[in-house]
């Protein structure tokens, strides 16, 4: 495939995300003010509790088996590598720049964490829908890509147990304590809606008679599956609108100096992608990941996603 053709295929999903983000930013602007802080908070809760779990369940129940899930173990390790390497690079940036104390934690957290869960859900399925995508048949690519992206989304709580901005800002101060506190919240992490949907989807897909009840033309409970699919379809547009709304809110109250922003950009878009290429290629050579270009692509995406929406 020629370079420009590949470039256009890769650019289309990003362009789609940017267009919807722009629409979300307009809705959250002071002139229109439909996506207020309260609306964005409630939408985020709906996505986390209803839409994203529904999307994950439908993606996993169709094609994923226990063997597949076990073979994806490196995705969780990959997230851990990104967080700890990013936090270390952020700590170095703080030592060099010496920002105000209330900004230190933000810089480290921004370097360490990214939108690991939602952006792959936006980009990967959209890329697979492109006619000339480099991953083969569009329908197969879409099913597998959506399953990988949903697993990435469900894996995030295993690495980042906090989902609150105030707690994220304390990463710098509490970085040494994270390892000691890993075991305690494990029960809470495993009971998050995306993780519950992951388990239910896996169990339903692995048990033939359960799967036959939900999936297929003769499925007795087909209408339930169709309803879950409808709910899941709302996840990606809602998440993209939330992202756009959060970005415009961040621009209104930006307090970080240009030097700190430049350091974050260098870490997240230069250093981490280079480390990511080496990590994924090494893992593939050692046989630690499935020999699927699409799976490896999702691993690479995790290294280049921008900071999480809660930090926008």
End-to-end CA distance of the chain: 36
Give me the pLDDT at residue 160, please: 60
What tens digit of pLDDT does each residue of 250-265 get? 655 556 678 888 888 8
| Strand residues in 22-142 grouped as ranges (E) | none
CA distance 206 to 219: 16
CATH architecture of 3-307: Up-down Bundle (1.20)
pLDDT band, residue 284 (cuts 50/70/90): very high
CA distance 39 to 121: 22
Give me the pLDDT at residue 143, please: 84
CA distance 257 to 261: 6
pLDDT band, residue 69 (cuts 50/70/90): confident
Domain spans in the chain, listed from the N-terminal domain onward: 3-307
CA distance 34 to 241: 11
The pTM of this model reads: 0.76
What tens digit of pLDDT does each residue of 177-207 get? 544 454 455 555 566 787 788 788 878 877 7
Contact 57, 228 (CB under 8 A): yes
What tens digit of pLDDT does each residue of 126-172 get? 888 887 788 888 888 888 888 888 888 777 766 665 444 333 444 44
CA distance 80 to 272: 13
């Amino acid at each position: 495939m020629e370079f420009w053709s590949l470039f256009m295929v890769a650019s289309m999903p990003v362009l789609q995300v940017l267009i919807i983000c722009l629409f979300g930013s307009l809705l959250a602007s002071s002139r229109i003010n439909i996506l207020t802080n309260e609306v964005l908070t409630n939408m985020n809760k709906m996505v986390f509790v209803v839409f994203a779990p529904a999307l994950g369940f439908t993606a996993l129940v169709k094609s994923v088996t226990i063997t597949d899930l076990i073979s994806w173990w490196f995705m969780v390790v990959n997230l851990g590598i990104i967080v700890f390497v990013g936090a270390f690079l952020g700590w170095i940036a703080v030592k060099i720049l010496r920002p105000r104390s209330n900004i230190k934690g933000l810089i480290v957290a921004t370097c360490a964490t990214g939108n690991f869960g939602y952006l792959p859900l936006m980009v990967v399925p959209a890329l697979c829908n492109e006619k000339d995508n480099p991953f083969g048949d569009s329908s197969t690519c879409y099913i597998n890509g959506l399953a990988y992206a949903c697993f990435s989304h469900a894996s995030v709580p295993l690495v980042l147990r906090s989902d609150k901005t105030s707690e994220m800002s304390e990463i710098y101060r509490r970085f040494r304590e994270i390892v000691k506190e890993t075991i305690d919240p494990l029960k809470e992490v495993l009971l998050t809606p995306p993780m519950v949907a992951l388990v239910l989807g896996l169990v339903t897909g692995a048990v033939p008679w359960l799967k036959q009840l939900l999936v297929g033309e003769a499925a007795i409970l087909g209408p339930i599956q169709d309803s879950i699919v409808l709910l899941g379809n709302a996840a990606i547009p809602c998440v993209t609108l939330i992202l756009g709304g959060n970005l415009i809110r961040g621009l209104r109250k930006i307090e970080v100096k240009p030097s700190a922003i430049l350091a974050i950009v260098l870490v997240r878009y230069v250093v981490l992608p280079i480390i990511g290429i080496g990590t994924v290629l090494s893992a593939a050579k050692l046989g630690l990941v499935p020999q699927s270009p699409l799976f490896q692509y999702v691993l690479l995406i995790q290294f280049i996603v921008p900071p999480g929406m809660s930090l926008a």
